[in-house]
């Protein structure tokens, strides 16, 4: 009987030693190279793929190109407009011209021309009038330039929106990647616990057959094994969903298999708060967008005031009647100035200018609000990063303390000065400390990514 108890104790000690080195084994397992058929994806590679293939980011960039095409299209209003018109018609009634006697002059020998009242009737045949006009805008160039500046400001605003979407995409990829790393580590720990519980279940069954333990202890071990298997399955399913989400962010087939690599813990303190605030105010896309909105609104006011200037163009016109009577000239050619001026508009322009002026004030208020929101965001992310860095340091110390406690309890158990329950409690404390450390590490990574996004850098 004593031999069976010693054998049982030796197996338990081996299991405890296995659990003591499990944290270091987890790191080794995460770093182990996967099979050749599975892609190993680093976080830098994931970010590069997302920047190239993310669909939401691609749409934001397409919006910039749309405004570029709009700008180029509006530029054509600076050039001469060339118009051609063709009118074909069939007269439904005659129209007559009456030349009164002598309307063309009185001559001593010939007499009056015409000699008597003459009526000229048109035919009812098919006629056509062809005309062409070339007009070069002159006074409109100033207003066109202001409108182009407005479109340019909107294009630059869309560029800032694309930058914001790029930063959001990078942040989302980092978060998704960190979650996968954390879940993978947790899954490795769960698999280690399953292996431990299986071995403990085997030892307990042998001890129960030899009547060296109680039935309730065997059932407790089996329940612990079943629970660890359930936790592993839960983590495995969560890991699959997380990988699908990351693949979607990368703009590729969600069924693409890959593995992740550990992310080193950033060392060193973050930048000081005043420097961070200055960087954010200079770099954040939201502020640049608000500034461009003010600029665009100011151009809008100037463009609306420019509508008071008459439209003056240099115009060349050509008209050619077809199939008319012989007395109608075959062509009309002219060159000169074309002026269009809306002289009286019942105060419409004044109201529109007042509206545009209010839009400028609104844009200025939005700029001040954007600056305030950015500063609050940077301050909040800075404080969170400080807190999460301290939490990470605290959990690291907790893991070291739990490891040392397990070592002490194991030595005392070998010397028969501690109970097995004390060792198991120490092992449970170490597992809990490791879990808290992994959670703190994930939170810290997320805080780093959020702070980098808050600074607005590319």
In the chain, where are the structural domains located?
2-89+124-455
Please tell me the distance from the alpha carbon of residue 329 to that of residue 386, in angstroms, as a whole number.
89
What is the SS3 assignment for 386? Answer: helix
For the cut 90, the answer to whether the pLDDT of residue 290 exceeds it is yes
The pLDDT confidence band at residue 2, using thresholds 50, 70 and 90, is: very low
Most confident by average pLDDT, 14-23, 122-131, 443-452: 443-452
Residue 250 token pair? 């990368």
The pLDDT confidence band at residue 270, using thresholds 50, 70 and 90, is: low
Nearest to 197 by CA among 433, 7, 22: 22
Please tell me the distance from the alpha carbon of residue 121 to that of residue 306, in angstroms, as a whole number.
50
Cβ contact 311:282 at 8 Å? no
What DSSP string runs through 114-152? SSS-EEEE---SEEEEEEEEEEEESTHHHHHHHHHHHHH
What's the pLDDT score for residue 411? 84
Q: What is the pTM of this model?
A: 0.75
What's the pLDDT score for residue 420? 64
What's the pLDDT score for residue 99? 77
Nearest to 363 by CA among 355, 241, 86, 82: 355
For the cut 90, the answer to whether the pLDDT of residue 151 exceeds it is yes
Please tell me the distance from the alpha carbon of residue 389 to that of residue 444, in angstroms, as a whole number.
6
Please tell me the distance from the alpha carbon of residue 395 to that of residue 66, in angstroms, as a whole number.
51
Average of per-residue pLDDT across 113-141: 84
Percent of the residues in the chain that have a pLDDT greater than 70, as a whole number:
88
Q: Is the Cα dihedral 431, 436, 442, 448 positive or negative?
A: negative
Q: Exposed/middle/buried for 376, CB within 10 Å: 0-12, 13-18, 19+?
A: exposed
Beta strand segments in 154-278, E: 258-260
Q: Which residues pair with 83 in a beta bridge?
A: 133
pLDDT digits (tens, 9 = 90+) for 355-397: 999 999 999 999 999 999 999 999 999 999 999 989 989 998 9
For the cut 80, the answer to whether the pLDDT of residue 246 exceeds it is yes
Nearest to 455 by CA among 282, 258, 197: 282
Phi-psi region of 380 (alpha: psi -120 to 50; beta: other; left: phi over 0): alpha
The pLDDT confidence band at residue 31, using thresholds 50, 70 and 90, is: very low
For the cut 80, the answer to whether the pLDDT of residue 1 exceeds it is no
* pLDDT, greater one: 446 or 125: 446
pLDDT digits (tens, 9 = 90+) for 420-439: 667 778 777 887 888 888 78
- What counts of helices (H) and strands (E) characterise the chain? 10, 10
For the cut 70, the answer to whether the pLDDT of residue 66 exceeds it is yes
Cβ contact 283:457 at 8 Å? yes
Average of per-residue pLDDT across 162-166: 93
For the cut 80, the answer to whether the pLDDT of residue 213 exceeds it is no
The pLDDT mean for the chain works out to 84
pLDDT digits (tens, 9 = 90+) for 171-205: 999 889 988 988 888 888 788 878 877 887 887 78
The pLDDT confidence band at residue 327, using thresholds 50, 70 and 90, is: low
Please tell me the distance from the alpha carbon of residue 40 to that of residue 184, in angstroms, as a whole number.
13
For the cut 60, the answer to whether the pLDDT of residue 19 exceeds it is no
CATH number corresponding to 2-89+124-455 = 1.20.1600.10
What's the pLDDT score for residue 20? 46
């Amino acid at each position: 009987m004593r031999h069976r108890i010693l054998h049982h104790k030796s197996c338990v000690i081996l299991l405890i030693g296995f659990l003591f080195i499990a944290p270091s084994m987890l790191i080794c397992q995460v770093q182990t190279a996967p099979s050749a058929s599975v892609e190993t994806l680093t976080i830098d590679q994931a970010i590069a793929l997302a920047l190239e293939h993310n669909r939401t980011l691609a749409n934001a960039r397409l919006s910039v190109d749309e405004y570029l095409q709009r700008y180029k299209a509006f530029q054509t209003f600076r050039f001469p407009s060339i118009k051609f018109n063709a009118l074909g018609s069939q007269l439904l009634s005659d129209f007559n011209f009456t030349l009164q006697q002598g309307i063309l002059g009185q001559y001593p020998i010939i007499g009056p021309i015409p000699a008597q009242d003459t009526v000229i009737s048109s035919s009812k045949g098919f006629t056509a009038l062809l005309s062409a006009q070339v007009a070069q805008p002159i006074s409109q160039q100033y207003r066109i330039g202001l409108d182009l500046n407005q479109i340019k400001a909107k294009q630059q605003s869309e560029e800032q929106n694309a930058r914001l979407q790029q930063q959001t995409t990078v942040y989302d990829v980092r978060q998704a990647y960190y979650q996968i790393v954390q879940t993978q580590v947790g899954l490795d720990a769960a698999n280690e616990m399953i292996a431990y519980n299986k071995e403990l279940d085997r030892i307990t069954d042998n001890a129960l057959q030899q009547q060296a333990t109680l039935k309730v202890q065997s059932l407790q071990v089996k329940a612990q094994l079943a629970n660890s298997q359930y936790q592993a399955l839960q983590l495995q399913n969560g890991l699959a969903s997380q990988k699908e989400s990351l693949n979607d962010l990368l703009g590729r087939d969600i069924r693409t298999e890959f593995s992740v690599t550990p992310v080193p813990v950033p060392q060193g303190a973050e930048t000081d708060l005043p420097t961070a605030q200055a960087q954010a105010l200079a770099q954040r896309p939201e502020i640049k967008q608000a500034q461009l909105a003010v600029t665009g609104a100011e151009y809008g006011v100037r463009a609306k005031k420019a509508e008071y200037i008459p439209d003056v163009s240099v115009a060349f016109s050509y008209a050619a009647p077809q199939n008319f009577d012989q007395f109608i000239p075959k062509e009309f050619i002219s060159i000169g100035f074309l002026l269009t001026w809306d002289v009286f508009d019942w105060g419409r322009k004044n109201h529109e200018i007042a509206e545009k002026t209010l839009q400028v004030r609104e844009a200025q208020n939005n700029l001040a609000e954007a600056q305030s929101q950015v500063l609050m965001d940077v301050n909040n992310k800075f404080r969170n990063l400080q807190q999460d860095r301290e939490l990470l340091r605290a959990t690291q110390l907790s893991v070291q303390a739990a490891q040392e406690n397990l070592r002490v309890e194991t030595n005392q158990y070998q010397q028969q000065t501690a109970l097995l329950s004390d060792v198991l409690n120490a092992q449970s404390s170490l597992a809990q400390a490791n879990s808290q450390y992994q959670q703190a590490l994930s939170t810290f990574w997320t805080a780093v990514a959020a702070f980098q996004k808050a600074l607005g850098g590319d």
